[in-house]
Amino acid sequence: MNWKIPLFDLDIGEEEKNAVLDVLSNGWLTMGRRTAEFESLFREKTGARHAYAVASGTAALHLACSTAGFKKGDEVICPGLTFVATAHAIRYTGARAVFTESRGSTDLNIDPGDIEQKISERTKGVLILHYAGFPCDMAEITTVCKRHGLVLIEDCAHSLFSSYRGEKMCGRYGLCGCFSFFSNKNMTTGEGGMIITDDDDAAESIRLMRSHGMTSLTMDRHEGRAVGYDVVTPGYNYRIDEMRAALGMAQLRKLDERLARRREVYTYYRSRLKNLPVELPFEAQLQRRDTVGIHIFPVLLPRGCKRDQVMAQLRSRGVQTSIHYPPVHFFKEFKNEATRLPVTEDLVERELTLPFYPSLTEKEIDYVVECVAGALKS
């Protein structure tokens, strides 16, 4: 479709094109020097001790859950309001995902109180999502995890460079933080991801599992650092390649400026939507002075409003919208879980995601807001 205003917009310039072409001329395509540079810059930006680039955000989440030691018979608490990959990563290890409530219409993130409610003698960990880039309540969540001896993992697919109270980056509160560079994320490599940790043992296990559990890489042997290899753990092929790492470097260099622009777009949007009968979540995060790397723009429509019709009207005026997310516990795959999450279910019935990207102009935002106002009136 030819949208007047799409949901998101790619931001690929000459730097990215040149970076990829340079790799293609250079003769080394699989994980090598550029990947190491990409990881090093990511460590510098996040302050993490270790960072490993991987094939996707889902691969990062799987490595995190494996490193945490989740296994069959265990339960891991995660939000019902997330992308299905969060729950899949838990399932890959054989553990069961226990879906947990969002706080409510002012904060779509996981409810620390409900985390505590959902803990059983089988619970081994908590996997949280910082929805839309707005940090979860890390003071409460880390306290609950400590009190019950649970491993915390952070799905940071939305929260690249967000930090709770402007103190520490999201992804550094838990054992591991998992990032996605999928095409529509705040920075992209097409497909790709990153996993960070401050724990040396976790880092070693992630490094091995990323590449078949092998003790040396093709690059190490090519450069004479190793002759053979041993295999010390059942690993995967979750490697990234040099084209993506180069693309990622170029995107990462622009990211601070792009995130600042996202905040400006968000602030303007928020001011323009204030007088409409929609709810705007995450006031608490703004009050708390979290630094936010905002990924999407969710609004909550009034109860009883027909979202399909609102979306159809916006579509007819060239405005693309979406829903984040159909709740995981509603999918056929998870039907045996038989969970009810009344708060989450109310939120996902009303949630509407508006177009949001750094290059949106005030005029375009005004147009979207006018279309939303029109759709709500009729």
Ligand X SMILES: *Cc1c(COP(=O)(O)O)cnc(C)c1O
Question: Interface with ligand X by CB under 6 A: which residues?
Answer: 56-58, 82-83, 85-86, 129, 155, 157-158, 180, 182, 193
Residue from 124, 185, 254, 306 carrying the catalytic annotation: 185
Question: At closest approach, how far in Å is the CB of 345 from ligand X?
Answer: 18
Nearer to ligand X, 155 or 242 (CB): 155
Question: At closest approach, how far in Å is the CB of 160 from ligand X?
Answer: 11
Handedness of CA 357, 162, 42, 213 (dihedral sign): negative
Question: At closest approach, how far in Å is the CB of 306 from ligand X?
Answer: 26
Nearer to ligand X, 182 or 236 (CB): 182
Question: At closest approach, how far in Å is the CB of 243 from ligand X?
Answer: 16
Q: How many residues does the chain have?
A: 378
What's the one-letter identity of residue 34? R
Q: How far apart are CA 258 and CA 357, in angstroms?
A: 9
Nearer to ligand X, 163 or 180 (CB): 180
Is residue 358 helix, strand or coil?
Answer: coil
Cα dist from 206 to 90, 201, 214, 266, 312, whole Å: 16, 9, 11, 36, 45
Question: At closest approach, how far in Å is the CB of 27 from ligand X?
Answer: 28
Q: Which residue is nearest to ligand X (CB)?
A: 57
Nearer to ligand X, 92 or 182 (CB): 182
Active-site annotation holds for 146:
no
Cis peptide leading into residue 173 (ω within 30°): no
Say if CB 172 and CB 196 are below 8 A apart.
Answer: yes
Nearer to ligand X, 295 or 369 (CB): 295
Q: Which residues are 237's β-sheet partners? A: 211
Buried b or exposed e, range 250-278, using 16+ CB within 10 angstroms = bbbebbeebbebbeebbebbeebbeebeb
Nearer to ligand X, 313 or 321 (CB): 321
Question: Strand ranges (DSSP E) for 231-377?
Answer: 297-300, 351-354
Angle between helices 242-273 and 362-377 (to 10 degrees): 60
Question: At closest approach, how far in Å is the CB of 182 from ligand X?
Answer: 4
Q: Cα-flanking dihedrals φ and ψ of residue 77, to 5°?
A: -85, 135
Q: Which residues are 322's β-sheet partners? A: 353
Residues classed as catalytic: 185
